[in-house]
Each structure stands twice: as structure tokens, then as C-alpha cells.
Structure 1
Amino acid sequence: MIKEIATTPYADQRPGTSGLRKKVPVFQQRHYVENFVQSIFDSLDGFAGQTLVVGGDGRYYNREAIQTILKIASANGFGRAVVGKGGILSTPAVSALIRSLKAFGGVVLSASHNPGGPDGDFGVKYNVANGGPAPEKVTEAIYQRTKTITSFKIVEAADVDIDTFGATQLGDMRVEIVDSVENYAALMQTLFDFDRIRDAFRSGFAMRFDAMSAVTGPYAHAILEGMLGAAPGSVLNGAPLPDFGGHHPDPNLVHAKHLYDLAMSPAAPDLCAASDGDGDRNLIIGRGRFVTPSDSLAILAANAHLAPGYRSGIAGVARSMPTSGAADRVAEKLGVALYETPTGWKFFGNLLDAGLVTICGEESAGTGSNHVREKDGLWAVLLWLDILAARKQSVDAIVRDHWATYGRNYYSRHDYEEVDSDGAHALIKTLRDRLPALKGRSFGALHVKEADDFAYHDPVDGSDSLNQGLRVMFEDGARIVYRLSGTGTAGATLRVYIERYEADPAKQFGETQQALADLIALSREIAEIERFTKRRAPSVIT
């Protein structure tokens, strides 16, 4: 039976770059999930009888939210819901499933790389029919609806058994519980030379992949150890847990330091890798060589033709504005276009749909291609494996060859996490007001060539996105970028990106923070970071 239940709006349901993210207790408030999900459906047209994909990363409150979403979807007229067994689907797997099923869209339950557990983070994101995150016009419509919602529709029924394969009815909607890995694994087989990678493992190639007790565990066990023959035990922390086993599921050098230490030790395997909470980010470390996400994007773009799925070449490359310019020189050499977009994977969707680009990436450890419309952590690892198997070189040798060919971008991101929100916004406003006066100024040997607030004009749909990050660019090609992150749930996170290009091979093997020392000091001075954030040093340096 369908019931319509009266409700009152919540004022804090504006989706960010990756959906609505809040602490679990916020989502547990009365009708909080119901309001947001109903607002999603109220903002869409034409889904009667259509298919909805539903799944998440297994974090705390995932299972309860899925039941609510299914009952509201049924009450609103969806004809079919496809759910990963146990509610488990990585974010790229949701995208792949939407595309292969030609579904109307999907609901992803995740807060990506943020911590889980009863007091951790939770998130709800809507993906459209191309498999990608809802564009800004959709998320804005959802937000506007959350401010006026007065009721939601829901089916009164017992919870669906999401732990057993098969189909059942929920009101007038058919609910199908499917294997979380099967569809995704089949897609990967069309892109990569599994026989070649399998031969590498048979010949002694060794790796460690840390799933961080998050969603990629089942995928890594099935594909890396099962289909490709990596040694048993190659996958670490492979069981998804509601609190990620107490881990912070962000695959960076702070939260995955144990992998870095292993890669730098005498016992290092050929490749150490990791993915995050929902499976869309990646970490790549070879024996003795950490690969920055910006360099990884450039190297994957330069070598993608070695994998069967990209053998005919790539149409173009897209990177987020804060990502280093390393990929730019690859695109130039390949003779393809390079697109610089705001942060947020949804900005790549139009470019991918229009066939303008094939490979996309962000400095925050997200890379992907036109196979889905999300970044994809395990895809990046598999492409690295295929390249390593084809070139028969180490990660370090491939990186060194790349720098010798294209030059090196020394690059670092300094995060000031959970700072006072008012102070962070005041910093950005004050710096934005100062930008015109910075142009032409000199700070020692550093001469400011341009200073602006990045704006993006979408070449496909003609939309404009303003205020996407403050840039201070120098005559020697170095730059500093400031922006506030939209992925946190407490306070504000100020991200500062520092970059310098080095063409001279003799100067390409220095330590990053030392190579950027003058720019780092200037980044703090120009923005008066300590004054506004009350922090003398960043929380995380990557």
C-alpha cells in the first residue's frame, strides 16, 4: 500500500560536488533521508516504469537507507530496481550498471573517501542515465525542492531481502538482487589484456592492493586474485566493513602509509596500490617510486594505446583545474585536445558523452575513461598492470622515462582540514578581492604573470561555472591555487595546490617539498593562511 506522509523541510540539504554528505546522525533524523530522496524523484520526469540502480559502499547506515530508497522509488512509479547483493556496489560499478542496463538513473550511497561508522560520514548521490553524477541544473532543482517539500510517498511493506540473489516484488516495482562484481568484471575484460597480465603474475610479478576494508575488496579478490592470478594475500583488507575497520579510507600517503613503507622497503613488491571507500580513487606506488595522481593521469594517457580497449588512440584528455599540467604536454604530443575543468567528475560527463575526450583525471587520486562516467580506482590499477606487463619495465623506470620525455611537474597539495568555516570563507573572499593587485607583483625571484578566479565555459552545453578556484600564476610557469573542498562534512577544508615545472633532466629528481619551498612559503603569505585558519601548518600534505 502506498502512503503519503506529511513532512517538513530541512534547511541543510544542498548537494555538493558529490551529492549530499553529512554525519550519520544527521541522516538518522526523522524523515531526513525520505525528504531528500523524494526531492530527487520530484525533480525528475519520465521515470514511470523505468529502471533504477541502487547500491553503496557498505558503510554504516547503507542497508537502512537502501530499504527507504526502494520503498519510495516503488511508491513514485519506478518499475524496476537493481541492487547489488548486500547493498554493495562501487561507485564506478553503479555507473557501469546504469549504462549496460540502459537504466533511467541510480542512487549511490557513499561518502567516498570519508570515514565511516555510527559517528562517521554518509552520503546520497543521484546519477543520471549516462551513468554520471547529476549535473548542476539537476542538483540545484533537487535542492530547491528540499526547501519546499511537504510530503513523501512510500510503500508500506516488509524490508526487501538484499542478501539473496533473485527477484521479488515491492508494491508494483520489481526488485532484482544482482552480483556486485559480475557486470563490472566483464567490462574490464573488454578493456585490458587479461592474458598478458596473467602471464606477468605467472612470471613472478607481485603486488599488494589495499581495499581499506571498503567496497573494492570483493572486486579486487575476484579480478586480481581470481581472474588474473595474483598470489593469494595480494589483496589486503578485502572485506567491506561498516566502519572500514577503523581505517580512514582515503588512499593517500597519510592513511595508506603502510603501503608506502612497504614499497620503499627491501621486501617491496613490484606494485602497491589502493582504492578508497567507494572505489573511485586510487593510489599507485611502485618499488621505490610513489606516482603522484597528476603524473599517473599523464602516464596513463601517454600509454593507454598499449591496452586493447584504447589501441586506436584517445580522442582527448581532460583534467580538473587544480591538477598539474603534466597531462597537457602528453595531449600536445599526441595531437589531441586538452580540457581544463572545475573540480568534480560531473564536469567530465559532457566531454565524454560528446566523444571529445577518452581519459580524465583529478589530482585527488581520481582517474577514469569513457568506459563509465565516474572515476574508477580499480580501472586505473588494471591499466597500470597492463602497461607494466606490456612494457616489461618497473614503475620507476616508466616514470623516469616519462619525465625525460615530457619534463617533471613538481606538485603538492596542502590541506587544512576542518578549519573554522567563517575563517576559511573570509580567506577566500579577501584573497579574491586582492587578485587584481597581485598581477605584475614580484616576490623575490617569483613574478606574478596572472591572478584570477577560474571560470569554466562548457563547450558542449554552453553552461558557465564561476568561482571555481583562485589562481596565482607566475612567469616561469609555476602556480598556486586555492579552493575550498566540497567533500567534507565538518567545518571547511582549504586546499592549496603548489606546482612548478622542471624541464632539465638533471633537476628532476629532487624532493618535492624542497623543490617547492619558496612557493609553499609564499602560498601561506599571500593568503594569510595562519591568520584566517588559526593553523600554522596543513593537516595533510600530499
Structure 2
Amino acid sequence: MTEFVIEQVATTPFEGQKPGTSGLRKRTTVFQQKHYTANFVQALLDSIPEGAKDAHLVVGGDGRYYSDEAIQIIARLAAANGVRKLTVAHRGILSTPAGSHLIRKLKATGGILLTASHNPGGPDNDFGIKYNGANGGPAPEAVTDAIYRRTTQLTHYAQADLPPIDITTLGTTAFGGGCFEVEVVDGVAAYVELMKSVYDLEAIKQFLRSRPDFTVLFDAMGGVTGPYFRALFVQELGFPADCCMNAEPSPDFGGHHPDPNLTYAKDLVARVEAENVAFAAASDGDGDRNMIIGKGCFVNPSDSIAVLAAYAPTMPYFARSGVKGVARSMPTSGALDRVAKKHGWPFHETPTGWKFFGNLMDAGQCSLCGEESFGTGSDHIREKDGVWAVLGWLSILAAAQQKAGPEVKVGLKTILDRHYAEYGRNYFSRYDYEEVDGEQAAAMMARLRAMVAPEGRSTTLADQSPFAPYTLKDCDDFHYVDPIDGSVAEKQGVRFLFADGSRIIFRLSGTGSQGATIRVYVEAYEATRVDLEPQTALKDLIQVALRVSQLQEFTGRKVPTVIT
């Protein structure tokens, strides 16, 4: 056992260490400043609701640049602050959903996840630190607010003079006469076992054996999910080893922007079309997002959660536990609402942020949930889960193929067409304007908020001409009262709701590391015209959104960075 000495290091607060919806995200060079990371970790430890003393924390992340150094800082501060044990993922590689599961499985106090999710990594890009609580989910606002307050008050932090922690070797090392220990564990194995309990992997294998024409391709985008894809899809399901692109986690994600959408996963999209791939999927840097596509077929994330919910009763996990309710974030399309109504399930509309779903799940009121930002999940953990969603779609295809019989070849388009025929289609698109000047973005949102009243429609909107050819029915700035803890989330997005059920929504994203990201959401429902190209179906509505917001006038941006 290695003894250690605790040192009190003098420091001063840094401005702007306020965690967003998924932790603190800044440029890597910001975290590399002397004391910066240690300050934030100390504030985090001081703000753990159960206290840092005798705590058991899970540590890992997406393997991005600076993760190794951050793990050593966390270990030194944890030991000095009385933490009893750190469970660290091998090489620090731990997807966010796998981290959520490990916290729950080990009944840990919480976890420190080193990730900036879908943001680029490397010395000139982004790093992030987030805290997840004992339920495995993102820290609630009461905790993130406490962390921020503490960052503004620090005059010192405590660290132990530990030798470097070897995170490349599995096993346990004790320090300080046994009062502090670090266990390095396989970050993949426990998650694989969980997925084997959630899905019928044998049914998926039977489907694949019956369909030798069913080609597959997965893109880990240089992020954390490569080892999970290999363990589940190659070793368990028998896919060929070359079905995985960019499968080795890389500190800079191999130069990729690890955001699974049609813009940033362009290499995968190109291969799908060129090679006639029947089923393909991509995941983001930390593995909590997913994109599902196939030759000539893109699954909109809003449709994805609706289809997963519709097929949930065929999946072993939900056959055992039942569907207690479903939920979506406010900007996500209403496709899920229609599934919930048909099945008689309770339905919830929440602000963007997985912690709101976690509250519902912990209270037994939600089993499946999703966000339009390529995040879907269920109450098997308390985070969105990209690999779970990919397995879910393979499970759907297997169930539909078994029902159809060998004479019909079921594919992604088959599933979507059947869903639209039954429920109609919510045409949906999101326009992202990234790294916009923050003051310009704030001014645009202030103008939009001035147009709407706190309680519904404002008299200032008597002039309907900016909305033509649509008829405005209502508008608001979405606010949410959590039915579980009574907390209130305000200014969650300005909504314009039209008489035919169409919507346009504007909000600022909290996931960027600098500047501001403006997101514009447009949605239109069609009961029968379900075979239109989405951008064609939404063309007029998009023009209304740009006209009403005066986005180009405020930001100077003529085109979005990303269209989903």
C-alpha cells in the first residue's frame, strides 16, 4: 500500500465554470490552464449531495485528448477529499451509457465522465467533465448550480501526492493504508451483459442468417463505441470484422467531428450509397447518440423513437417490465405522441436534457424516451444510448421479418412505410447555425421572446402576414414544471404553433464550447401524403421560420452549418 501526503494548493476562481445541460465544456486549452481542471473537480467533489467522504465514484470517458491527465488529477483530488474508491475504466474508455450502467450496477455514489459528447476532440478542440448521480443520470440543476457556486468561492483545493495511476492494467491498487483504492475494470463487459438481457440476440442472429443479402456497416467515428461494436456486433452477433469503420478510439477522433448526422458522417453516407448497404449506423464520441440509415433511407431521430416505442412490446425487456409511459423533448416531433395515444400510454413533453427523463424514469412514469438530436433511450439506464438504439432497430427488423415470412424481404424502408401508413407522418427538420456570435444570437432570441407573452399568445401578433400561408394559433416560450420534484425550467424555446398542427421553434443550444448555436426546428404533419421529400414538404414553413426570426439579419448567416 502506498502512503500519501495531502497538500492544500492555493488557487483563485476562474470565470465561466458553469456546467451546461451535459457538464462543463470548453476548449482543451482552457482545461489545460494551471489549476483550471483541479478547481472544477474540487468544486464538484464539494457539491456531491452525499458528500465526497467515503464516496465510490466511477471514472471514464470517450478517450479524447487530455483524458489521461484529467484522470490523474481526479485521482489525486479524490484521495485528498476522502473518497473511498474510484472505479476507473480500462484506458479510461467508457461510453456515457455504459458509465450510467456501471454506476447503477455497482451502486456507486456517482460518476465523473470525461466527455464533450459529439464535439470534436484534440489539442485545439473540446474537452468536458460531467457529473452523474447515484441513479446513473446527469446531475440535476440543483447539483450543477451548487458546483458553479462553489467554483466562484474556491481559495484552495486539496490533492494527494499519489504516484501516476496505471489505467492500462486491470486490478485494484490501495493507497493511504487502504483508505483509498483505485480499481481498473473492463469498461465494455458489463454493458455487453446488460444488452444481452435487454434484447433477444439469438433472434437477431437468426434474422441475419436468413438474410445473407442484408449488408451492414457501423461507424464509431473514432469515438468510444468501437470496442462496444466489436464486442456486440462482431463477437456476439457474428458480423464480419470489417463491418466497423473508425473503430479504434482516438484522442482526436481520427480527425472526425464525431456527431452522427448526414453532414458529419458523410464517409458512412457515401459508402452506404456506393455499396448498397441495407443497414448502417453511426454513433457519437461518447456513444449516447445514434444515426440509422440504409440505401436510399434515412431514419429521422424523431421517427426513430416513435418506431422503437411502437415495437417495444416485441422486445424482451419491455415484455418483462411493461411500458410505463413515454416522453420526448419539446423540440422533437409529435410522432411519438401518436404512438402513445394508440397504445394508451402516459405521455410527457420535457425540455431538452436527459435529466428530465431521468426524473420520470426514477418515479416509474417513463420507459422510453427520445430527443430529435439523435438521442434515444429507455429506463434500462439513465442516459441516452446509441448502441441500445442500433440493437433496437435490428430487433425490430428481426421481428418484422419473422412476421412477414421468407417470401418478403424486410428493410428499413419497409418499417418506416408501414409506420407512416398507420400513424401518418410528421415531417421534421432542424437547422443548426453553429458558433454564431453570442450577442447576436441573444438579441435574436430576445426579439422572439418579446413577440410572445408568458401565458400563450400575445396581442402583438395580431398581424398574421409574416406567417402566411400558415395561420398562427398560439405561441409561447416553453416552460416546464417537473411533475416529480416541482422544479421549474423556463425559457426553453420560443414556439409558434399553427392551426394545421405545424410548428416552428427557436432555441439556443447549451452543448457548444464557444459562441452560440442557434437551432431552428420545423415540423408539419400529413395523415396521407407520407411519401414526400422532407425538405420539399417543409419548404414553405422553413421560409416562414427564417422570415419571422430575421436570422440572417441578426447573424449574417445565409445557410445553416448542419441540416438534419
TM-score, with structure 1 as normaliser = 0.98
Q: What residue is the counterpart of 1:197 in the other structure? A: 204
Asked if the contact 1:67–1:160 (Cα under 8 Å) also holds between the matched residues in 2, the reply is yes
1:316 equivalenced with 2:333 (yes/no)? no
Q: What residue is the counterpart of 1:179 in the other structure? A: 186
Map 1:490-505 to 2 at 5 A.
490-504=514-528
Asked if the contact 2:278–2:294 (Cα under 8 Å) also holds between the matched residues in 1, the reply is yes
Q: What residue is the counterpart of 1:216 in the other structure? A: 225
Q: What residue is the counterpart of 1:438 in the other structure? A: 461
Q: What residue is the counterpart of 2:252 in the other structure? A: 243
Question: Structure 2 counterpart of 1:40, which letter?
Answer: L
Return the match for 2:300 from 292, 296, 299: 292
SS in 2 for 1:33: helix
The whole-number CA distance in structure 2 between the counterparts of 1:403 and 1:50 is: 49
Listed one character per residue, the Cα deviations across residues 173-212 of structure 1 (whole Å, up to 9, x for unaligned) are 1100001101100100110001111222333232111001
Question: Structure 2 counterpart of 1:185, which letter?
Answer: V
Asked if the contact 2:225–2:283 (Cα under 8 Å) also holds between the matched residues in 1, the reply is yes
Question: Structure 2 counterpart of 1:418, which letter?
Answer: E
The whole-number CA distance in structure 1 between the counterparts of 2:151 and 2:170 is: 34
Listed one character per residue, the Cα deviations across residues 391-433 of structure 1 (whole Å, up to 9, x for unaligned) are 1121100000000000001100001111110000000001110
Change (3 A) 1:308 1:527: same
Q: What residue is the counterpart of 1:348 in the other structure? A: 357
1:408 equivalenced with 2:425 (yes/no)? yes
Cα RMSD after superposing both structures: 1.1
For structure 2, list consecutive stretches of 5 or more residues without a partner in the other structure: 402-409, 453-457
Q: What residue is the counterpart of 1:519 in the other structure? A: 541
Question: Structure 2 counterpart of 1:449, which letter?
Answer: K
Asked if the contact 1:440–1:450 (Cα under 8 Å) also holds between the matched residues in 2, the reply is no
Q: What residue is the counterpart of 1:132 in the other structure? A: 137
Structure 1's consecutive aligned runs of 4 or more residues displaced over 6 angstroms after TM superposition are none
Q: What residue is the counterpart of 1:14 in the other structure? A: 18
1:367 equivalenced with 2:376 (yes/no)? yes
Listed one character per residue, the Cα deviations across residues 109-150 of structure 1 (whole Å, up to 9, x for unaligned) are 000000011101000000000000000010001000000111
The whole-number CA distance in structure 2 between the counterparts of 1:46 and 1:237 is: 40
Q: What residue is the counterpart of 2:6 in the other structure? A: 2
1:101 equivalenced with 2:109 (yes/no)? no
Asked if the contact 1:58–1:241 (Cα under 8 Å) also holds between the matched residues in 2, the reply is yes
Paired residues in the alignment total 539
The whole-number CA distance in structure 1 between the counterparts of 2:25 and 2:510 is: 9
Asked if the contact 2:46–2:52 (Cα under 8 Å) also holds between the matched residues in 1, the reply is no
Listed one character per residue, the Cα deviations across residues 212-249 of structure 1 (whole Å, up to 9, x for unaligned) are 11100000001100111112211111000000000110
Give the percent of matched residue pairs that are identical in Structure 1 and Structure 2.
Answer: 55
Asked if the contact 2:55–2:84 (Cα under 8 Å) also holds between the matched residues in 1, the reply is yes
Asked if the contact 2:25–2:128 (Cα under 8 Å) also holds between the matched residues in 1, the reply is yes
The whole-number CA distance in structure 1 between the counterparts of 2:292 and 2:266 is: 12
Map 1:43-82 to 2 at 5 A.
43-44=47-48, 45-82=50-87
Moved more, 39-48 or 285-294: 39-48
Listed one character per residue, the Cα deviations across residues 234-288 of structure 1 (whole Å, up to 9, x for unaligned) are 11110000000001100000011232233334x3222100100000000001332
1:307 equivalenced with 2:315 (yes/no)? yes
Asked if the contact 2:9–2:156 (Cα under 8 Å) also holds between the matched residues in 1, the reply is yes
SS in 2 for 1:343: coil
Question: Structure 1 counterpart of 2:264, which letter?
Answer: H
Q: What residue is the counterpart of 1:146 in the other structure? A: 151
The whole-number CA distance in structure 2 between the counterparts of 1:445 and 1:403 is: 25
Asked if the contact 1:427–1:527 (Cα under 8 Å) also holds between the matched residues in 2, the reply is yes
The whole-number CA distance in structure 2 between the counterparts of 1:483 and 1:375 is: 21
SS in 2 for 1:361: strand
Listed one character per residue, the Cα deviations across residues 437-483 of structure 1 (whole Å, up to 9, x for unaligned) are 23672532201101100000101111111100000000000000000
Q: What residue is the counterpart of 2:455 in the other structure? A: none
The whole-number CA distance in structure 1 between the counterparts of 2:272 and 2:421 is: 23
Listed one character per residue, the Cα deviations across residues 41-83 of structure 1 (whole Å, up to 9, x for unaligned) are 1112334223100001000001100110111111111111101
The whole-number CA distance in structure 2 between the counterparts of 1:215 and 1:12 is: 28
Question: Structure 1 counterpart of 2:217, which letter?
Answer: R
Question: Structure 2 counterpart of 1:438, which letter?
Answer: L
1:41 equivalenced with 2:59 (yes/no)? no
The whole-number CA distance in structure 2 between the counterparts of 1:297 and 1:16 is: 24
Question: Structure 2 counterpart of 1:194, which letter?
Answer: L
SS in 2 for 1:480: strand
Q: What residue is the counterpart of 2:242 in the other structure? A: 233
TM-score, with structure 2 as normaliser = 0.94
Moved more, 131-140 or 45-54: 45-54
Q: CA deviation at 1:311?
A: 1.5
The whole-number CA distance in structure 1 between the counterparts of 2:462 and 2:487 is: 28
Return the match for 2:121 from 116, 122, 134: 116
Change (3 A) 1:439 1:478: farther
Q: CA deviation at 1:538?
A: 1.1
The whole-number CA distance in structure 2 between the counterparts of 1:96 and 1:338 is: 25
The whole-number CA distance in structure 1 between the counterparts of 2:315 and 2:75 is: 39
Moved more, 213-222 or 442-451: 442-451
The whole-number CA distance in structure 2 between the counterparts of 1:264 and 1:331 is: 34
Change (3 A) 1:39 1:283: same
Return the match for 2:94 from 78, 89, 96: 89
Question: Structure 1 counterpart of 2:436, which letter?
Answer: V
Return the match for 1:509 from 504, 508, 531: 531
Question: Structure 2 counterpart of 1:2, which letter?
Answer: I
Return the match for 1:28 from 32, 46, 64: 32
Asked if the contact 2:290–2:390 (Cα under 8 Å) also holds between the matched residues in 1, the reply is yes
Return the match for 1:459 from 472, 483, 493: 483
The whole-number CA distance in structure 1 between the counterparts of 2:316 and 2:551 is: 47
1:475 equivalenced with 2:499 (yes/no)? yes
The whole-number CA distance in structure 1 between the counterparts of 2:263 and 2:156 is: 44
Question: Structure 1 counterpart of 2:485, which letter?
Answer: D
Question: Structure 1 counterpart of 2:461, which letter?
Answer: L
Q: What residue is the counterpart of 1:169 in the other structure? A: 174
SS in 1 for 2:242: coil
Asked if the contact 1:206–1:231 (Cα under 8 Å) also holds between the matched residues in 2, the reply is no
The whole-number CA distance in structure 2 between the counterparts of 1:202 and 1:394 is: 15
Q: What residue is the counterpart of 1:528 in the other structure? A: 550
Map 1:384-399 to 2 at 5 A.
384-392=393-401, 393-399=410-416
